[in-house]
Structure 1
């Protein structure tokens, strides 16, 4: 059996404490999500329900309302965090993010169109969202291949913002065409995990499991591509094939997240930024850290959305935007992008 190199062993040991710390933080946020929320059930009553001594009303709120919401928010954060890390590594651009490059907007536009046409089943919504994300991701890849554009982070983001604005405008036009669908689309595009049934999570699980499997396959070649395409070819990898697999993976992840919570922006920027700050440039370690950090960010934002305007709730998409905008400014002003 091949001996494990000392460098790799040290790197694994360094990663484990980070994963444990992030996992512990996630557990605390999960507990807060189950204990706190809008409604007459207090934290003490919710805790009693978790221990099996609560009233029937408190048990219903915790198990039927807050628990599904918690699971959906965690899955959304996992999907968007991993998708953002993959996009940033593939484009070699720290600003690449599904919400900024039109991937989420493409997914959202497709779902809004499906709602306008009368789609109601969760499975159909998930498939349509993934198709829209695939189209948006394909546009991102095409954009990065344009000479002089893909290598400039600011111009790439401007191109993505233009595409996002166009798709949002078309979505707004659809809302004017059908008042029946307008209310549902309006609630959906603001981003929310409130009131979502577990059925919609079950419908997205096969896609997420497939995406996680693909990530396992592309993680090592993607790390090699960070050394350059010639180096990756010399190591026996095929960059074109890897980009294709990443495109499919991102479409599966973003489509699933959009079907679950709507088109949330900045999550795919914030999560890899936090993970990379602790893990360094190795995409494999970044992806591992995104697993607990992504759910923690979205679930934490959801808890804030419940409490900041209680007894009402602030849209989740607004909270993620308020969190992500300062991170975007930090990255732009950090001076780590030579093209700026």
Structure 2
């Protein structure tokens, strides 16, 4: 399935008004989700106590829960969701495939394999997952790009997708082989492996923050170039677009965003798949608007899913990766069956 090259015409007055207004409304919804994230849980905490904990910490149990558990969880959820939304939009633009998502480049599998190796060899745990996961994601992406551009052929979207699928299968085989044979490794990574925000602290966020910021800045700068690439390689080249450079920069941005997100919260699926389609329904094909929307909508989805996971069971909670799978799987099936999406 290939994304049809869109025709970027001058937006109508309605769309010029709708885009910024909708983005402001989405930011408002995100603020509400963030507030719910710090107030809702096994023990509901009134909003007044939340403000008191943030403004005048007194060392009480409720204040400690808010500051040490819920605020870091909320911050990481917002930035991980935004990173996955952006990475998904970039992947669909890079491969021109409406069903593409960050895992297509083997990034999630590379991060998981590196974490498993770090736990097996060095007994790593907790925040120590960050660097192995990020390095594994980067190495997997480089391997995919090297395989996809091997020989005289350039790294076309189809070659990258095929190489990414092959690398991901091999790396997942390594992961499953180790965790089946080693109970210690399985116990250490079982929650991280399904995608979780629980137990994360701000140290994790600060470790990946530079990569997130670099990825976001690079992504937003790529908007106009991706619009040109969407017209087709030949036409984009006649307009002065440097196709290999744009593809390399896009792949680098995906590695920075998805690597940092996976290192922070584990491999979370479907966010990068469904969010770009939701954003495209509002903005149309213009990447200059689609990318900011994808970031905000991705943050909304992940924080909302995390809140739902805390309350869906009476005396426990579901990891956020499970909730996004429940939401994303039916939408994925709908996308596969949709003729309209297949013809984008």
TM-score by length of 1: 0.86
Match in the other structure for 1:249? 253
Aligned residue pairs total 328
Counterpart for residue 3 of structure 1: none
Please tell me whether residue 282 in structure 1 is matched to residue 286 in structure 2.
Answer: yes
Q: Which sections of structure 1, spanning at least 5 residues, go unmatched?
A: 1-5
- Deviation string for 1:111-131 (max 9, x for gaps)? 222222226487864343233
Find the counterpart in structure 1 of residue 109 from structure 2: 105
Report Cα offsets for 1:91-139 as digits up to 9, x if no partner: 1101110235532122221222222222648786434323332344356
- For the pair 1:42 / 2:44, whether they are aligned, the reply is yes
From 12, 15, 21, the equivalent of 1:17 is 21
Does structure 2 conserve the Cα–Cα contact (< 8 Å) formed by 1:100 and 1:265? Answer: no
Question: In structure 2, do the counterparts of structure 1 residues 249 and 168 end up closer, same or farther at CA, with 3 Å as the change threshold?
Answer: same
Contact 1:73 1:295 in 2 (8 A): yes
Asked whether the equivalents of residues 336 and 342 of structure 2 are also in contact (C-alpha less than 8 Å), the reply is: no
1:296 corresponding residue in structure 2: 300
Normalised by the size of structure 2, how large is the TM-score? 0.85
Change (3 A) 1:138 1:334: farther
| Cα 1:222/1:144, change in 2 over 3 Å | farther
Separation of aligned partners in 1, 2:126 and 2:255: 17
Aligned match of 1:318 in 318, 322, 326?
A: 322
Which segment is superposed worse, 14-23 or 82-91?
14-23
Point out where structure 2 has 5 or more consecutive residues left out of the alignment: 1-8
User: CA 1:174/1:49 → structure 2, altered by over 3 Å: closer, same or farther?
Assistant: same
Supply the distance in 2 between the matched residues of 1:313 and 1:174 (Cα, whole angstroms).
27
Check the 8 A contact 1:49/1:62 in 2, yes or no: no
Aligned mates of 1:160, 1:326 — CA distance in 2: 24
| CA deviation after TM superposition for structure 1 residue 207, in Å | 0.4
Does the 8 Å CA contact 1:37/1:307 hold for their aligned counterparts?
yes
Q: Which residue of 1 aligns with 2:184?
A: 180
Residue 85 (structure 2) pairs with residue 81 (structure 1): yes
Structure 1 residue aligned with 2:204, among 175, 189, 200? Answer: 200
Show CA shifts across 1:56-79 (max 9, x none).
221111122111100011111011
Q: Which is worse superposed, 53-62 or 325-334?
A: 53-62
Between 1:200-209 and 1:178-187, the stretch displaced more is: 178-187
